[in-house]
Amino acid sequence: MIHDQANYEREAEDVREPLLSEKGQETVDVREDSPLPDDLTREALTLPNPSEPETARHYTRLSQMNWAIDAGPYPLGSCTMKYNPKFTEDVAADPNAAVHPDRSARSAQGTLALQYRLQEVLADIGGMDAVTLQPPAGAAGELTGILVAKAYHEHHGNDRSEVVIPASAHGTNFATAATAGYDVVELPSGEDGRVDLEALEAAVSDDTAALMLTNPNTVGLFERDITEIAEIVHDAGGLLYYDGANLNALLGRGRPGDMGFDVMHYNVHKTFATPHGGGGPGAGPVGVVDELAPFLPTPRVREADDGGGYERFEPSHTIGKVHGFAGNWLVLIKAYAYIARLGDEGLSDAAAKAVLNANYLAERIDLEVPFGPFHHEFAATAGDRDAADVAKRMLDFGVHPPTTKWPEMVPEAMLTEPTEIEGRSSLDDLAEAFNLAYADTDAALDSAPTRTAAARIDQVGAARDPRLSWQALDGE
């Protein structure tokens, strides 16, 4: 199960695949043939000028130096690296989807119809009353949700200044609260890895705008006291925000809306299998309960009164916009297609198999998993080994390692989320990679990885002497 990544080292130059700029650049005299006066133009433009065959080879070689879910297991905890069904690409590539956002509603009925249907199914899945599709990523969804909460409080004359966030939450939660202008109150984790109700009681006050919660949390534990948590937050006048990063574990078995959450985001690139694309584009629709619907971003889509179609409308107390247009529309189409493919049973089965896989894998690895019962992901501890080193060594055994050293409540954490797409034999391979790496010698761990396109990369040096463009490499 060991497979090398393509490695195109050239002996004379220590580059694997030269930069496009190193293959040849051309300088064009911009003013020579310009319809504009010289004082409005630049003199020259210098960029690579590869032929199309050279371009194809360049990017094909680069692709061969890149791990991907279609290459093998990619169990990054919290990232939900599922298989991305190919047909969803074809659905999104429909030329009729390629319309401009400023079209009249009259002439864009097809797009509005699909938007409306997606809003509806997402609302059902989350147990929410109203959904906006505008946020272009999960963190943008968080910001949207928190801005909605803020607008709600302000509308009711409440000047609240704090957002409460468990210490184990995603970094985006903290950054989002700050971006929205809130102070962050960090909630220490209870001994069982969950929210400690007494600590929560102590943390909330008249200043609490919201509690941001991930459920199951970032070590896969369901917050069993969710009803009490919701009561505590609501009694203090705060709102309960659901971070949708781990929704995959709940599909068909639990809905944030039924648990007392007032506002949530969905990570469609996680739960609904749209491709992660090397770090985006994703999409982060936001669902809310009725009381918060008037504050959602504008425009939303609804059925027209005359019954003949769909229309855009501005919610009465809208927060305005969180994306210049309608978000990452092509991604949202893929999410709709995925949900339709699975249906009720498929969605529920996805959660079941995701949880089954995580539990099976945890059973098969030699590393200790301190917190349970976990659902779709678990945080194993590398104990006295360095989790980052173990991860590097796992690369040599033909798998992508889990998320490392996070969350901090597990020492040397390896946060692992195999998702539902791995079968038993692939989980066995993954377990073997864990176990071989974990038991390997210090020397082997230090020198790993050895079978990837690049050997261990100097991260400290990269940050100390930042070289962020080929221009900065000039003369090297």
Adjacent-strand bridge partners of 242: 213, 264
Question: Does residue 390 belong to the site contacting other proteins (CB under 8 A)?
Answer: no
Question: Does residue 366 belong to the site contacting other proteins (CB under 8 A)?
Answer: no
Min separation Cβ 129 and other proteins, Å: 15
Collapsing DSSP to helix, strand or coil, 101 comes out as: coil
Instruction: Report DSSP letters for 314-374, one per residue.
Output: --TT----SSSSS--HHHHHHHHHHHHHHHHHHHHHHHHHHHHHHHHHHHH-SSB--S-SB
For the segment 183-242, give every residue that binds other proteins (CB under 8 A).
184, 221-222, 224, 226-227
Choices 288-296, 377-385, 409-417, 449-457 (CB under 8 A): range interacting with other proteins: 449-457
Using the minimum distance from each CB to other proteins, give the nearer residue, 33 or 384.
33
Question: Does residue 322 belong to the site contacting other proteins (CB under 8 A)?
Answer: yes
The binder of other proteins chosen from 317, 321, 370, 386 (CB under 8 A): 321
Q: How far is CA 286 from the centre of its chain?
A: 14
Choices 201-209, 231-239, 335-343, 433-441 (CB under 8 A): range interacting with other proteins: 335-343
Min separation Cβ 16 and other proteins, Å: 7
Closest CA to 399 of 333, 473, 451, 327: 451
Neighbour count for residue 281 (Cβ, 10 Å) = 16
Burial of 26 (0-12, 13-18, 19+ CB in 10 A): exposed
244's tokens: 């949708």
Collapsing DSSP to helix, strand or coil, 218 comes out as: coil
Choices 63-71, 205-213, 233-241, 435-443 (CB under 8 A): range interacting with other proteins: 63-71
Applying CB under 8 A, what is the total number of residues that bind other proteins?
A: 197
Min separation Cβ 331 and other proteins, Å: 8
Min separation Cβ 237 and other proteins, Å: 21
For the segment 130-149, give every residue that binds other proteins (CB under 8 A).
136-140, 142-143, 147
77's tokens: 């905890």
Please tell me the number of Cα atoms within 13 Å of 216 on its side-chain side.
27
Q: Which run of H or E residues covers position 183?
A: strand 183-187
Min separation Cβ 384 and other proteins, Å: 22
For the segment 65-124, give every residue that binds other proteins (CB under 8 A).
65-71, 74, 76, 79, 81-85, 87, 89-91, 94, 96-104, 106-111, 113-114, 117, 121, 124
Using the minimum distance from each CB to other proteins, give the nearer residue, 142 or 196.
142
The binder of other proteins chosen from 2, 3, 12, 35 (CB under 8 A): 35
Choices 32-40, 197-205, 288-296, 435-443 (CB under 8 A): range interacting with other proteins: 32-40
Collapsing DSSP to helix, strand or coil, 128 comes out as: coil
The binder of other proteins chosen from 19, 206, 290, 383 (CB under 8 A): 19
Closest CA to 114 of 310, 270, 264, 365: 310
Using the minimum distance from each CB to other proteins, give the nearer residue, 236 or 395.
395
Question: Does residue 330 belong to the site contacting other proteins (CB under 8 A)?
Answer: yes
Q: How far apart are the first and last CA of the chain?
A: 38
What angle separates helix 109-126 from helix 329-364, to the nearest 10 degrees? 30
User: How far apart are the C-alpha atoms of 471 and 476, rounded to whole Å?
Assistant: 10
Using the minimum distance from each CB to other proteins, give the nearer residue, 202 or 457.
457
Min separation Cβ 37 and other proteins, Å: 8
Question: Does residue 337 belong to the site contacting other proteins (CB under 8 A)?
Answer: yes
What is the pattern of x (binds other proteins, CB under 8 A) and - over residues 261-290? --------x---x-xxxxxxxx--------
Going from the C-alpha of 391 to that of each of 127, 136, 411, the distances in angstroms are 38, 30, 14
284's tokens: 């982060």
Min separation Cβ 233 and other proteins, Å: 15
Question: Does residue 308 belong to the site contacting other proteins (CB under 8 A)?
Answer: no
Q: Which run of H or E residues covers position 463?
A: helix 459-464
Min separation Cβ 244 and other proteins, Å: 13
Q: HEC profile for 47-85? A: EECCCHHHHHHHHHHHHHCCCCCCCCCCCECCCCCCCCC
